[in-house]
Amino acid sequence: MKVSPWILLAGLLALAFTLATKLAATADNWSGRSKPENVFEMLLGDGRRLFANESFTMADVYFHSGYYPSMFDQNAKEQREIIAASHGHKETEEEEKKEDFFGQPHDWIDAFGRNFRITRHTHLAAHQEREILPWLRLAADLDPQKIETYTVGAYFMREHLGRPNEAEAFLREGLRHNPGNSEILFELGRIYRENRHDLNRARNVWEYGVKSYLSLSPDLQKENKLVYEELVMNLARLEDEAGNYAAAIKWFEKGKVVSPAPDAIQKQIDDIEKKLAGAKPVAAPK
Amino acid sequence: MTVILQTQKLRVEYRNRDFRQANKVALLGLDLEVRAGEVFGFLGPNGAGKTTTMNVLLGFIPPTSGSASLFGIDVRQPIARQRIGYLPELTYYYKFLTAEELLRFYAKIFGLSRSETDRRIADLLKLVELEHASKRPIKSYSKGMQQRVGIAQSLINNPDLLILDEPTSGLDPLGRMKVREIIQRLKDEGKTVFFSSHELGEVEAICDHVAIVHQGELKAMGTVAEISAGHPNLEQAFLKVVGYQNAAAS
Amino acid sequence: MNKIFALAGVVIKELYRRKDFYVLFILTALLTFAAGSANFFHDAKIVRYLKDICLLLIWVSALLVAILTAARQIPAEREARTIFPLLAKPVSRAQLIVGKFLGCWLATGLALFVFYLFFAVITGSREQIWPVGVYLEAAWMQWVMLAIVIGMVLLGSIYFAAPSSTTTIAFIVVVGILFVGSHLNTIALQQGEPVQSILAFLYFTIPHLEWYDLRDFVVYDMGMAPVGAVALATLYAAAWTGIFLLLTWLGFRRKNLTT
């Protein structure tokens, strides 16, 4: 029997497609792995996390417009956490700008080579900070569990670029990957408080942050003491601003326990107590 | 007549890569003279030293000792090759160029003017019957067409001396005829042709002078008549010179 | 000079008749467009990452064009035996080397021009600024560096028969110098003897290709590098190119081409 090769081809294609529809569902069950979220996860698997730090560092390189120590430069190790350490703290930023990781040239090769390197320590400003965002986006895709990516990205979008909506969306993405993370909740609360002036939502988010922190193991609590301090101090100031002096004192008292400057906090408590003595009580928040 | 190609006590040794073995001697003090206007056949069995001699004359390998000159200039000087044309046994040219581009490139090497180049290219493409394919890349040519490009390039500078290495080997009958025609034409124009060949009949038909080398040494040199004297033809004389016993017996 | 330009012309023709350059250009363009189409937090003004990626692709592509073109010149002439009809003409081996070098360098320059034009159009369309001087200086420095690379590769091609070996070794050496060339002295200090002395020796004797990378100046809008320093670097590159070409000639001048 002579069969046309075209008919044979059509038959084989039909068979392949039919089997594909049947096997696709079965193959999903065979694989114990979850479906990849993005192309990096698909291509690199968990190995993508190795590149996330580099991507985060690239954001820092961009923030310093290329003035950045290489892994061979002296004091490189100390210098490489600049963006994470100094963002948002004007004094630290100014101090950092004075540091010079290049030092004196070692020889004529080093001295001449500096003509072709960026040797001016600057920080991005005037909305140019947007240039760091692609690297933070990439870092988040590469390692969704890297918390600083979300907090740093949200900080720049909120504080420097006037884009609180995008900052909130980025933080919420971070929360999806890291449910209940206190640092992300703290940044989220700042958006509600500072940009939206929505004290109730800020309070809710920060209180949830405190609750999450307290549910951590003692070791992790020790590690994250700073964010706890930030949360309680900001909650205290928020309540003070809202006129909920009793609640404010409660949060200040908690802050006093962990703060390195309890006397200063005690002074604030004293001030509120004075206000409380002289003012009519306000209904406590729900 | 002026001597335009000369070798004196030319010796070439190839260094053996295995230091325990002696160097291979390809030429053993070769003395050769080719005069202006001659068609000179350079004969010898395989491995006799013909190609080595040509390689020295063209500057591809340096002589171990002795000297070689073209038009009285040491072959190590590039200018010695200004007035020669060379056709290798097998043609290899830049396949991404067209025949016209290849000829223009070589004309530029010889420092020809633009008008002279245009005129020569037109004449040569006509001579080798490649006018129709002159704008096509050489990679699209048949073997015979590539061989004809080779002939054209060897004549681009209107050479006074043409060095041909086995010019008819690998050619179809038409190609062979074309090469013979060209040699004859150059001879008529008073040019000198130096060529190696295994085709003794061909050599007999077109050469004035012949040299026979064997095992790196010159065994005989003279006119075709002088070499063939006492033998039925040049082939028999050649076989005797290279020590082929049956020929000597006949 | 006519002979050298004639030889160079053939190399340039080879470049634009081969597919290497077109493949690299299309790949660069596709990757740049793909990167450019990414949406980062709905901000269309973000441009530096795009400049960075595009310049990196240009660097890799130009390096590939230069190394691949230079590595095959002399071995291909020998393998295809085109060197015989060529050297049977009044061309010296020195002229052959200089002609090949010039051809590779001009061909690479042509490729660089196309790449930088593409870069200028892409970034200009986003930023609406045209810092032509900065681009020209960066392209010039890259081109000058490629002259050293081409010289180095031509030297390698005399000793390594296969162009693939020359290409691989050259690529490793060039990328190695670009990454750690300026840090060899620092690395040396962390090593014991004799590695320390070897690294220190290398630091002072290798061609410092990393000087020629002005991508940061372009990406971070830092203006032009000092013109005097660029002129000195050009002189340094000319010296190194001369060294490599001289070494190539010394290795090639008496080379038996028939084996």
The residue count of chain C comes to 259
Please give the average per-residue pLDDT across C230-236, as a whole number: 94
Closest residue of chain C to B80, computed from CA coordinates: C90
* C79 in contact with chain A, both atoms CB, cutoff 8 A: no
Residue B103 has a pLDDT of 93
Q: What is d(CA A256, CA A266) in angstroms, rounded to the nearest whole number?
A: 7
Residue C135 has a pLDDT of 94
Please give the average per-residue pLDDT across C81-97, as a whole number: 90
pLDDT in tens, A121-161: 888 877 888 888 899 999 998 888 889 999 999 999 988 88
CB-based contact C224:C217 (threshold 8 Å) = yes
The residue count of chain B comes to 250
Flag if B110 and C18 touch (Cβ within 8 Å): no
Task: Evaluate if residue C257 carries a pLDDT over 80.
Answer: no
Same domain? For A63 and A114 the reply is yes
> How would you class A281 by CB atoms within 10 Å of its CB: exposed for 0-12, middle for 13-18, buried for 19 or more?
exposed
Most C CBs within 10 A among B77, B96, B154, hence the mutation to make, goes to B96
Work out how many CB contacts closer than 8 A connect A with C: 84
A137 inside domain: yes
pLDDT-derived band at C232, boundaries 50, 70, 90 = very high
Chain C 215-234, CB below 8 Å of chain A: which residues?
216-217, 219-222, 225-226, 229-230, 232-233
Q: What is d(CA C65, CA C55) in angstroms, rounded to the nearest whole number?
A: 15
Token digits of residue C74 = 């002399």
Mean pLDDT of chain C: 90
Residue B248 has a pLDDT of 47
Tell me what ipTM this predicted complex has: 0.84
Same domain? For A82 and A188 the reply is no
Task: Evaluate if residue B250 carries a pLDDT over 50.
Answer: no
Task: Evaluate if residue A91 carries a pLDDT over 60.
Answer: no
**Chain C nearest C-alpha distance from A168 (Å):** 11
Please give the average per-residue pLDDT across B92-106, as a whole number: 90
Please give the average per-residue pLDDT across B108-124, as a whole number: 91
Measured distance between the N- and C-terminal CA atoms of chain A, rounded to whole angstroms: 85
Q: What is d(CA A12, CA B59) in angstroms, rounded to the nearest whole number?
A: 65
Within chain C, residue ranges assigned H as helices are 2-17, 20-36, 48-79, 83-87, 93-127, 132-159, 163-180, 184-189, 195-205, 215-219, 227-252
Contacting chains of A (3 CB pairs or more, <8 Å) are C
A240 inside domain: yes
- Chain B residues with CB inside 8 Å of C80's CB? 92, 95
The residue count of chain A comes to 286
Closest residue of chain A to C138, computed from CA coordinates: A116
Residue A99 has a pLDDT of 62
pLDDT in tens, A241-277: 888 888 888 888 888 888 788 888 788 888 888 877 7
Please give the average per-residue pLDDT across B93-122, as a whole number: 91
Closest residue of chain B to C79, computed from CA coordinates: B92
* B178 in contact with chain C, both atoms CB, cutoff 8 A: no
Residue C108 has a pLDDT of 94
Residue A84 has a pLDDT of 45
pLDDT in tens, C150-201: 999 999 999 887 888 889 999 999 999 998 888 888 888 788 888 888 888 8
Flag if C43 and A113 touch (Cβ within 8 Å): no
What residues does B5 pair with on adjacent strands?
Answer: B34, B70
- Tell me the three-class secondary structure of chain B, residue by residue: CCEEEEEEEEEEEECCCCCCCCCEEEEEEEEEEEECCCEEEEECCCCCCHHHHHHHHCCCCCCCEEEEEECCEECCCHHHHCCEEEECCCCCCCCCCEHHHHHHHHHHHCCCCHHHHHHHHHHHHHHCCCHHHCCCEHHHCCHHHHHHHHHHHHCCCCCCEEEEECCCCCCCHHHHHHHHHHHHHHHHCCCEEEEECCCHHHHHHHCCEEEEEECCEEEEEEEHHHHHCCCCCHHHHHHHHCCCHHHHHC
Place of tokens 């973000």: C46
Task: Give CA separation, A141 vs A33, A55, A136, A146, B93, in Å.
Answer: 18, 10, 9, 10, 54
Chain B 215-244, CB below 8 Å of chain C: which residues?
none
Q: Domain boundaries in chain C?
A: 2-253
- Nearest-CB residue to A131 (from C46, C210, C212): C46
Lowest mean pLDDT among A29-33, B115-119, B233-237: A29-33
Query: Which amino acid, residue A73?
Result: D
What residues does B11 pair with on adjacent strands?
Answer: B28, B65
Place of tokens 């085109």: C82
A227 inside domain: yes
Q: Using a threshold of 3 CB pairs under 8 A, tell whether chains B and C touch.
A: yes
pLDDT-derived band at C209, boundaries 50, 70, 90 = very high
Please give the average per-residue pLDDT across B151-169, as a whole number: 86
Flag if B94 and C18 touch (Cβ within 8 Å): no
Q: pLDDT over 70 for what percent of chain A?
A: 83
Residue C118 has a pLDDT of 94
Q: What is d(CA C138, CA C218) in angstroms, rounded to the nearest whole number?
A: 7
**Chain A nearest C-alpha distance from C247 (Å):** 24
Residue A249 has a pLDDT of 86
A201 inside domain: yes
pTM recorded for the entire structure: 0.83
DSSP assignment letter at A252 = H
Task: Evaluate if residue B185 carries a pLDDT over 70.
Answer: yes
Lowest mean pLDDT among A95-99, A211-215, B3-7, B121-125: A95-99
- Chain B residues with CB inside 8 Å of C81's CB? 88, 90, 92
Closest residue of chain B to C19, computed from CA coordinates: B96
With a CB cutoff of 8 Å and minimum separation 6, the contacts of A198 are A192
- Nearest-CB residue to C87 (from B51, B58, B95): B58
Residue B245 has a pLDDT of 59
Q: Identify the residue with better confidence: C32 or B25.
A: C32
Q: pLDDT over 70 for what percent of chain C?
A: 100
Residue C186 has a pLDDT of 82
- Chain B residues with CB inside 8 Å of C89's CB? 81, 86, 106, 109-110, 157
pLDDT in tens, B173-183: 777 787 888 88
Contacting chains of C (3 CB pairs or more, <8 Å) are A, B
Please give the average per-residue pLDDT across C125-141, as a whole number: 90
What residues does B214 pair with on adjacent strands?
Answer: B217
**Chain C nearest C-alpha distance from A213 (Å):** 29
CB-based contact B58:B247 (threshold 8 Å) = no
Sign of CA dihedral B50, B55, B61, B66: positive
DSSP assignment letter at A128 = G
Residue A134 has a CB neighbour count (10 Å cut-off) of: 25
pLDDT in tens, A27-71: 776 665 566 667 777 777 777 778 888 888 888 888 888 888 877
Please give the average per-residue pLDDT across B151-159, as a whole number: 89
A171 inside domain: no
- Nearest-CB residue to C81 (from B86, B92, B153): B92
Domain residue limits at A232:
180-272
A256 inside domain: yes
Flag if C46 and A137 touch (Cβ within 8 Å): no
Place of tokens 């307290």: A214
Residue A121 has a pLDDT of 83
Residue C65 has a pLDDT of 93
pLDDT-derived band at A73, boundaries 50, 70, 90 = low
Flag if C41 and A170 touch (Cβ within 8 Å): yes
Same domain? For A206 and A267 the reply is yes
Return the CA Rg of chain A.
Answer: 27
Q: What is d(CA B168, CA B41) in angstroms, rounded to the nearest whole number?
A: 13
Mean pLDDT of chain B: 84
Q: What is d(CA C147, CA C161) in angstroms, rounded to the nearest whole number?
A: 22
CB-based contact B159:B3 (threshold 8 Å) = no
- Chain A residues with CB inside 8 Å of C225's CB? 115-116
Please give the average per-residue pLDDT across B223-242, as a whole number: 81
Q: What is the CATH number of the domain that holds A186?
A: 1.25.40.10
Same domain? For A96 and A185 the reply is no
**Chain C nearest C-alpha distance from A235 (Å):** 29
Q: What b/e readout covers A203-227, taking b as 16+ CB neighbours within 10 angstroms?
A: bbbbbbbbebbeeeeeeeeeebeeb
Task: Evaluate if residue B7 carries a pLDDT over 60.
Answer: yes
Chain C 84-113, CB below 8 Å of chain A: which residues?
none
Token digits of residue A267 = 């002074």
State the total domains in chain A. Answer: 2
pLDDT-derived band at B236, boundaries 50, 70, 90 = confident
Same domain? For A152 and A231 the reply is no
Same domain? For A41 and A134 the reply is yes
pLDDT in tens, A166-182: 999 999 999 999 998 89
Q: Using a threshold of 3 CB pairs under 8 A, tell whether chains A and B touch.
A: no
Task: Evaluate if residue B1 carries a pLDDT over 80.
Answer: no
Q: What is d(CA A116, CA A109) in angstroms, rounded to the nearest whole number?
A: 11
Token digits of residue B99 = 């025949």
**Chain B nearest C-alpha distance from C105 (Å):** 19
pLDDT in tens, B201-222: 888 888 888 888 888 888 888 8
Lowest mean pLDDT among B154-163, C38-47, C60-69, C226-235: C38-47
Task: Evaluate if residue A87 carries a pLDDT over 60.
Answer: no
**Chain A nearest C-alpha distance from C203 (Å):** 9
Task: Evaluate if residue A76 carries a pLDDT over 70.
Answer: no
**Chain C nearest C-alpha distance from B42 (Å):** 18
Same domain? For A84 and A203 the reply is no
Q: What is d(CA C22, CA A213) in angstroms, rounded to the nearest whole number?
A: 57
Instruction: Based on DSSP, count helices (H) and strands (E) in chain A, helices before strands.
Output: 16, 0
Segment holding A226, helix H or strand E: helix A225-242
With a CB cutoff of 8 Å and minimum separation 6, the contacts of B208 are B38, B39, B40, B223, B224
A285 inside domain: no
The last residue of a domain, from among A139, A164, A189 = A164
Token digits of residue C197 = 């002395």
Q: Identify the residue with better confidence: A147 or B200.
A: A147
Token digits of residue B217 = 């040494």
A78 inside domain: yes
- Nearest-CB residue to A133 (from C41, C141, C187): C41
Same domain? For A42 and A147 the reply is yes
Most A CBs within 10 A among C37, C47, C49, C56, hence the mutation to make, goes to C49
Flag if B81 and C2 touch (Cβ within 8 Å): no
Flag if A137 and C41 touch (Cβ within 8 Å): yes
Task: Evaluate if residue C113 carries a pLDDT over 90.
Answer: yes
Pairing of strands B209-214, B161-165: unpaired
Task: Evaluate if residue C39 carries a pLDDT over 90.
Answer: no
- Nearest-CB residue to C46 (from A112, A115, A133): A133
Work out how many CB contacts closer than 8 A connect B with C: 86
CB-based contact B14:B64 (threshold 8 Å) = no
